[in-house]
Amino acid sequence: MKKISRSDLPRLFEALSQARRLYIPADDGSGQAKFLPYTPGMELTQNLNTVRSAKDLFFPQVENLLKFKVQGKQIEILDDRDPVEPFVIFGVRACDCRSFDVLDNVFLHAEPADTFYQARRENAVVMTLACNAPEETCFCTVFGIDPADPAGDVTMWQTKDTLYLRANTEKGAAVLDDLPLDDADDAAVAAQQAATREILKKLPLKDLDLNGFDHEHMLQKFNDPRWAQLSESCLGCGTCTFVCPTCQCYDIKEFNTGKEIQRFRCWDSCMYSDFTQMSAGQPRPTQKERFRQRFMHKLVYYPANNDGLYSCVGCGRCLQKCPIHMNIVKVIKTLGGECHDA
Is the pLDDT score of 340 beyond 50? Answer: no
pLDDT tens sequence across 113-169:
999 999 999 999 999 999 998 999 999 999 999 999 999 999 999 999 999 999 999
In a domain, 287, yes or no: yes
Instruction: Kindly report, residue by residue over 256-315, the tens digit of the pLDDT.
Output: 988 899 999 999 999 998 888 777 777 888 999 999 999 999 999 999 999 999 999 999
Residue 208 in domain: no
Nearest to 159 by CA among 186, 189, 138: 189
Alpha-helical regions (H) of 26-123: 94-107, 115-123
76 and 146: one domain? yes
- How far, in Å, CA of 296 to CA of 284, rounded? 13
Are residues 220 and 267 located together in one domain of the fold?
Answer: yes
φ/ψ bin of 212: left (φ > 0), alpha (ψ from -120 to 50), beta (otherwise): left
* pLDDT (tens digit per residue) in 190-208: 999 999 999 999 999 999 9
More confident of the two residues 340 and 231:
231
pLDDT digits (tens, 9 = 90+) for 219-233: 999 999 999 999 999
pLDDT digits (tens, 9 = 90+) for 58-105: 999 999 999 998 888 888 999 888 889 999 999 999 999 999 999 999
Q: Indicate the range of 14-18, 90-94, 248-252, 271-275 predicted with least confidence.
A: 271-275
Q: Are residues 280 and 190 in the same domain?
A: no
One domain, residues 190 and 48: yes
Domain range holding 264? Answer: 215-335
Q: Do 169 and 266 fall within a single domain?
A: no
* DSSP three-state, residue 43: coil
Calculate the average pLDDT of the chain: 92
pLDDT band at 338 (very low <50, low <70, confident <90, very high): low
User: How many structural domains are present in the chain?
Assistant: 2
Compute the distance between CA of residue 223 and CA of residue 292 in angstroms, rounded to an integer.
Answer: 10
**Phi-psi label, residue 308: left if phi above 0, alpha if psi -120 to 50, beta otherwise:** left
| Distant-in-sequence, close-in-space partners of 256: CB < 8 Å, separation ≥ 6 | 262
Same domain, 113 and 246: no
Note the pLDDT of residue 274: 84
Cα–Cα dist 267/315, whole Å = 20
Helix H or strand E segment including 294? helix 287-296
* 209 falls within a domain: no
Query: Of 150, 170, 200, which marks where a domain is finished?
Result: 200
- Beta strand 87-92 with 124-129 is parallel
Structural domain contains residue 340: no
In this structure, is residue 207 part of a structural domain?
no
First to last CA, the chain: 51
Predicted local distance difference test score (pLDDT) of residue 50: 92
Residues 182 and 71 in one domain: yes
| Residues 165/181, Cβ–Cβ less than 8 Å | yes
Q: Do 122 and 231 lie in a common domain?
A: no
CA distance 236 to 290: 8
> What does the alpha-carbon distance between residue 301 and residue 304 come to, in Å, rounded to a whole number?
5
Together in a domain, 94 and 234: no
Count Cβ atoms below 10 Å from residue 69 Cβ, excluding itself: 12
User: Which pTM was predicted?
Assistant: 0.92
Q: Locate the DSSP E strands across the chain.
A: 2-5, 21-27, 33-37, 62-71, 74-79, 87-92, 124-129, 154-158, 162-167, 182-183, 250-256, 261-267
User: Pairing relation of β-strands 21-27 and 87-92?
Assistant: parallel
Packing angle between helix 94-107 and helix 115-123, nearest 10 degrees? Answer: 140
Q: Is residue 59 part of a domain?
A: yes
Residues 6+ apart with CB under 8 A from 199: 133, 134
Residue 167 shares a structural domain with residue 293? no
Q: Are residues 251 and 140 in the same domain?
A: no
d(CA 26, CA 36): 6
Region 330-337: what's the mean pLDDT? 91
Q: What does the alpha-carbon distance between residue 25 and residue 18 come to, in Å, rounded to a whole number? A: 18
Task: Give the residue from 168, 200, 232 where a domain finishes.
Answer: 200
Q: How confident is the model at residue 341 (pLDDT cuts 50, 70, 90)?
A: very low
From 177, 200, 223, the end of a domain falls on 200
Whether residues 187 and 38 share a domain: the answer is yes
Rounded Cα distance between 256 and 140, Å, is 44
Q: Is the CB of residue 158 less than 8 Å from the CB of residue 113?
A: no
Answer whether residue 103 is part of any domain: yes
Q: Is residue 341 part of a domain?
A: no
